[in-house]
Amino acid sequence: VSDREYYMAQQYDSSRGFFIGQPVKSRVTGKWGVPISVPVLHKKSPVSVLFCMVELERVAALHEAVRIKPRGTVSILRTDGVSLSRVPFREDIVGQSLAGTPQFKTHLEGRERGFAVWATTLDGVDRFVSHARLGQYPLIVVVTSAMDAVLAPWRKLVFGLVALAIAASVMGVYLGQRLFMALADKDAAHAAMQRLASTDTLTGLMNRYAFMAAAKREQERARRNGRGLSVLMIDMDHFKAINDTHGHAVGDRVLRSLGRMLTELLRSIDTAGRLGGEEFCVLLPETDLKSAAEVAERLRRECETRPVRIGGLDLTKTLSVGVAELAGAEETATELIHRADLALYRAKKNGRNRVELADAPAPTGFA
C-alpha cells in the first residue's frame, strides 16, 4: 500500500497525523467508504500506519434517522471542501470538491461554525444551513433544512445540536466524548449564541445592534470618568460601482478586506462595527478630536494602498471618513454618531477619499 494516499500522508512531517482520505468505492462490494489512517511512531513497533475504512452505508443510516425531513440534508466535508458523505446519498457528489462553490467560499471556508440561508445548486431549494468544524480534526458537518420545514423557533437550535451529534457518529467514541463535553458546557454554548447574534457574518465585526449598544456603554463610561470619546463614520467610495462592474462576490471581498484592516490597525480598546452596506463605524475611547483625525487619516491612506486582487488586476478602493468627538456629558451616543455621519456626508460631497471633522453641536437653551 506504499502508493496509497492514506499511507503516503504519514511519510511527511507536513501531512503526518490523523488523516482522512478521499472516499473510494469498493471494487468487490460496490460500497463507498472513507479511509482513515493514523501513524505509529514508536521505534520498537512493527506497525508504521494504522488504517481503517468507514463504510458510508453504516453512517448513512444514523444520519437518515436525525436529518430534518422531508428535504433536509446531512453532509460531512473535509476542510479543503472534499465531500465525504451526504444523506440523502448522491454518488455524483461523494468525493467531489466543493471548494470552488460560492457557498463554500462565503459561508464555510475559514469559519468555525455558523448559520446561513442559501439556495442549493442541486435542487434550487432555499435552505437554512448550519455548519460546525470538529476542532483539531479536518472535518466540517453541514446540516440543512428546507425553509418551509422550519415550523418553530426551537428548530434553529436543533441545527447546531444535530450537527454536533452527527459528528460524534462519524468519528466514534473518542470524538464523541469531546463533542459531548462541549455540549455539556452550557456557558460556552450560551456565549457562542451571543457572539452569533452580535456579529456581522460577512466581516466578523459587530453588527448594527451590538455596535449601538457598545456606543451607549462607551458614552456612559466617558461621562463617568471624564475621559474623551471619538467616533469615525467610514464609507467605501463608489461601492455600488464595484458591485455593478465586478459583481457582488467581489464587493463582499472588498468589505471583508476593510473589516480585516480595521481589526489589524485599531487598538484593543477600540470597537469597530458594520452598520449596513458599505458603512462602518469605529469607537475610539480616551481619544480627542485631533488624535481621532490622525487615526482616520491613517486608515484612509492604508486602505488606498491595499488593493484587492481580482484575477490579474488590483482593485484600488478609497474611504471617506467623518470624525466627531463627544461634546459633553449631555450628548448621547446617537447624537455623537449623527454628527460624525454629517461630517462623512461632507467628505463625500467635497470629493471623497478624504477626512472631515464634525462641527460642534448647536448650543441648547435660551439666550
Residues 6+ apart with CB under 8 A from 155: 68, 145, 149
Catalytic: which of 64, 220, 278, 294?
278
Active site residue 220: no
End-to-end CA distance of the chain: 92
Spatial contact of 308 and 252, defined as CB atoms under 8 Å apart: no
Could you tell me the CA-to-CA distances from 281 to 211, 255, 325, 344 in Å, in that order?
8, 13, 13, 11
Q: Which residues are catalytic?
A: 278
